[in-house]
Amino acid sequence: MDYKKIKEREAKWSEATLNKVLKRFPERKETFKTSFGEGIKSIYSPLDVESEDFLSDVGYPGEYPYTRGVQPTMYRGKLWTMRQYAGFGDAEESNKRYRYLLSQGQTGLSIAFDLPTQIGYDSDDEMSEGEVGKVGVAIDSLKDMETLFYNIPLDKVSTSMTINSTAAILLSMYMAVAEMQGVSPDKLKGTIQNDILKEYIARGTYIFPPKSSMRIITNIFEYCAEKLPGFNTISISGYHIREAGANAVQEIAFTLADGIAYVNAAIQAGLDPNVFGKRLSFFFNSHNNFLEEISKFRAARRIWAKIMKEKFNVTDKKAQMLRFHTQTGGSTLTAQQPMNNIVRVAYQALAAVFGGTQSLHTNSYDEALGLPTEESVTIALRTQQLIAYETGVSEVVDPFAGSYYVENLTNRIENEVNKYIDKIENIGGMVKAIEEGFPQKEIGEAAYRYQKDVEKGEQIIIGLNKFKSEDEAKNEVLKINEEVENKQVEKLKKLRKERNNDAVNENLSKLDEAASSGENLMPFIFSCVKSYATVGEISNVLRRNFGEYNESIIS
Amino acid sequence: MLKNNFLEVAKKISVIENNHSKAKEIIDGLPEKSYFVVGITGSPGVGKSSLTNIIAMKFLEKGKTAVLAIDPSSPFTGGAFLGDRIRMKDSASKGVFIRSLASRGSVGGLNPSIYDTVEFLGRSGFEYIILETVGTGQAETDIKNIADVIVLVLSPGNGDEIQSMKAGIMEIGDIYVVNKMDLPGAKSLYAKVKSILELSNKNNEVLLTGMAYKETIYDLFDKINIELGKKTHRNSVKNKREINRLLNVVLKEINDNCLNCESLEIIYKFIREDLNEGKKS
Amino acid sequence: MPIKVLVAKPGLDGHDRGAKVVAMALRDAGMEVIYTGLRQTPSSIADAALQEDVDIIGLSILSGAHNRLCKKVLDAMKERNIENKPVFLGGIIPEEDYENLKSMGIVDIFGPGTSLELIAKRIKEIVKK
A337 within 8 A of A469, measured Cβ to Cβ = yes
Q: Does B103 touch chain A (CB under 8 A)?
A: no
Q: Between chains, do C35 and A555 touch, taking CB under 8 Å as contact?
A: yes
| d(CA C86, nearest CA chain A) in Å | 22
Residue B14 lies in a domain: yes
* AA letter at A122: D
Domain containing residue B182: CATH number = 3.40.50.300
CB A501 within 8 A of CB A481: no
Domain A62-456: which CATH number of 3.60.15.10, 1.20.1510.10, 3.20.20.240, 3.40.50.970? 3.20.20.240
Other Cβ atoms within 10 Å of A346 Cβ, number:
19
Contact C59/C76 with Cβ under 8 angstroms?
A: no
CB contact under 8 A, B44 and A427: no
Write down the domain spans for chain C. 4-128
| Chain C residue nearest residue A119, CA to CA | C12
Among A21, A281, A242, residue whose Cα is nearest residue A160:
A281
Chain A contact for C63, CB < 8 A?
Answer: yes
Nearest to C34 among B10, B14, B100 (CB): B100
Write a three-state SS string for C37-55.
CCCECHHHHHHHHHHHCCC
Domain assignment present for B35 = yes
User: A353 exposed, middle or buried (CB, 10 Å; 0-12, 13-18, 19+)?
Assistant: buried
**Is C94 an interface residue toward A (CB < 8 Å)?**
yes
Note whether B89 contacts A428, CB cutoff 8 Å.
Answer: no
* A210, A432 Cβ separation under 8 angstroms: no
pLDDT tens digits, chain A, 555 residues: what are they? Answer: 799 999 999 999 999 999 999 999 999 999 999 999 999 999 999 999 999 999 999 999 999 999 999 999 999 999 999 988 887 889 999 999 899 888 888 778 999 999 999 999 999 999 999 999 998 999 999 999 999 999 999 999 999 999 999 999 999 999 999 999 999 999 999 999 999 999 999 999 999 999 999 999 999 999 998 999 999 999 999 999 999 999 999 999 999 999 999 999 999 989 999 999 999 999 999 999 999 999 999 999 999 999 999 999 999 999 999 999 999 999 999 999 999 999 999 999 999 999 999 999 999 999 988 888 889 999 999 999 999 999 999 999 999 999 999 999 999 999 999 999 999 999 889 999 998 899 999 999 999 999 999 999 999 999 999 999 876 666 777 777 778 999 999 999 999 999 999 999 999 999 999 999 999 999 999 999 999 999 999 999 999 999 999 887 655
Q: Who among C24, C44, C52 is closest to B99 (CB)?
A: C52
Best C39, C45, C67 residue to mutate vs chain A (most A CBs within 10 Å): C39
pLDDT for A36 equals 94
Size of interface A-B (CB pairs under 8 A): 25
* Subunits with 3+ C-beta pairs closer than 8 A to A: B, C
Distances (CA, A) of A419 to A249, A430, A439, A538, C19: 10, 14, 13, 41, 29
Mutation to test the C interface, candidates A121, A135, A443, most C Cβ within 10 Å = A135
Number of domains chain B is built from = 1
Q: In this structure, are residues B108 and B141 in contact, taking their beta carbons and an 8 Å threshold?
A: no
C118 touches chain A (CB under 8 A): no
Q: What is the nearest CA distance from C96 to chain B, expressed in angstroms? A: 33
CB contacts of B89 in chain A (<8 Å) are: 550
Q: How far apart are CA A325 and CA A297, in angstroms?
A: 11
CB contact (8 A) between residue C37 and residue A447: no
> Nearest-CA distance from C54 to chain A in Å?
19
Element (H, E) at A234: strand A234-237
Instruction: Tell me whether residue B250 is in a domain.
Output: no
SS3 helix, strand, coil % of chain B, rounded to 5?
55, 15, 30
Tell me how far apart the alpha carbons of residues B157 and B196 are, in angstroms, rounded to a whole number. Answer: 18
Cα separation, B220 vs B208, in Å, equals 9
Residue C35 is nearest to which of B79, B82, B99, comparing CB atoms? B82
B168 CB within 8 Å of a chain A CB: no
Asked if the C-beta of B87 comes within 8 angstroms of chain A's C-beta atoms, the answer is yes
- Residues of chain B with C-beta less than 8 angstroms from the C-beta of A555: 44, 71, 81-83
What share of chain B in percent tops pLDDT 70? Answer: 79
**Beta-carbon separation of C113 and A334 below 8 A:** yes
**Does C25 contact A at CB distance below 8 Å?**
yes
Helix H or strand E encompassing A344: helix A340-354
What's the pLDDT at B1? Answer: 38
- Tell me if residue A106 falls in helix, strand or coil: coil
Contacts of B73 in chain C (CB under 8 A): 2, 32
Is B264 inside a domain boundary? no
Nearest to B81 among A427, A436, A555 (CB): A555
- Owning domain of residue B30: 6-231
CATH class of C4-128: alpha beta
Phi and psi at B58, nearest 5°, equal -65, -45
Contacts of C24 in chain A (CB under 8 A): 444, 448
Q: State whether A245 and C38 contact (CB < 8 Å).
A: no
**Sign of the alpha-carbon dihedral angle for A346, A351, A356, A359:** negative
- Residues A458 and C128: their CA atoms lie apart, in Å, by 32
- The C-alpha atoms of residue A21 and residue C62 are separated, in whole angstroms, by 49
Taking an 8 Å cut-off on Cβ atoms, the answer to whether C16 and A204 are in contact is yes
Element (H, E) at A415: helix A404-427
